[in-house]
């Protein structure tokens, strides 16, 4: 697979990644597959007025490289989740939902609706942007992972999802 390790650290590296990812996405599209990029927070490194994530999406072909924003990692990187969702309108079929809470002075993953993310704004932006699938994801849980999943699911239902 394509990893960013070889590309990280420079604006030129992220531009090269965008070109290489577009080429891979074009090959996959020819086979009937979709290629999406899932972010973490290191893509919020700035190169002048642009973040690495801006460069990846600005320099790639939206037909061949889709977005798969992770709400926690956007927030962790200092980005505005709602702005990023809207920026990637019609380019993001799936989004990864996880919340963030401050625990012992550190940013920590939390069940959806149990942290500090603006879920009404995020859900509204997803509708506007044409997001089709919401993937509930929590890498680290403070309780049993199935209990965490149920909490996220129940909170999303209470927010009118499903």
The per-residue pLDDT for 1 is: 47
Distant-in-sequence, close-in-space partners of 41: CB < 8 Å, separation ≥ 6: 73, 74, 76, 77, 78
In the predicted model, what is the mean pLDDT of the chain? 94
How does pLDDT run across 16-73, given as a tens digit for each residue? Answer: 999 999 999 999 999 999 999 999 999 999 999 999 999 999 999 999 999 999 999 9
Q: What percent of the chain has pLDDT over 90?
A: 91
The per-residue pLDDT for 69 is: 97
Token pair listed for 95: 């989004």
Choice between 5 and 60, residue whose per-residue pLDDT is larger: 60
Rounded to two decimals, the pTM is 0.92
Q: What is the mean pLDDT of residues 99-109?
A: 94
CA distances from 66 to 26, 72, 93, 159 (A): 11, 19, 8, 27
Q: What is the pairing mode between strands 50-51 and 46-47?
A: antiparallel
């Amino acid at each position: 697979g394509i990893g960013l390790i070889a590309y990280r650290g420079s604006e030129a590296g992220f531009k090269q990644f965008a070109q290489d990812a577009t080429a891979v996405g074009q090959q996959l599209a020819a086979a009937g597959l979709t290629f999406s990029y899932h972010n973490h927070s290191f893509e919020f490194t700035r190169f002048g007025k642009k973040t690495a994530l801006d460069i990846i999406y600005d320099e790639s072909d939206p037909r061949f490289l889709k977005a798969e924003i992770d709400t926690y990692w956007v927030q962790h990187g200092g980005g505005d989740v709602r702005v990023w969702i809207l920026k990637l309108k019609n380019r993001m079929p799936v989004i990864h939902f996880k919340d963030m809470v401050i625990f012992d002075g550190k940013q920590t993953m939390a069940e959806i609706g149990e942290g500090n993310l603006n879920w009404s704004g995020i859900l509204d932006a997803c509708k506007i942007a044409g997001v089709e699938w919401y993937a509930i994801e929590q890498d680290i849980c403070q309780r049993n992972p199935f209990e965490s999943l149920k909490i996220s699911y129940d909170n999303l239902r209470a927010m009118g999802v499903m």
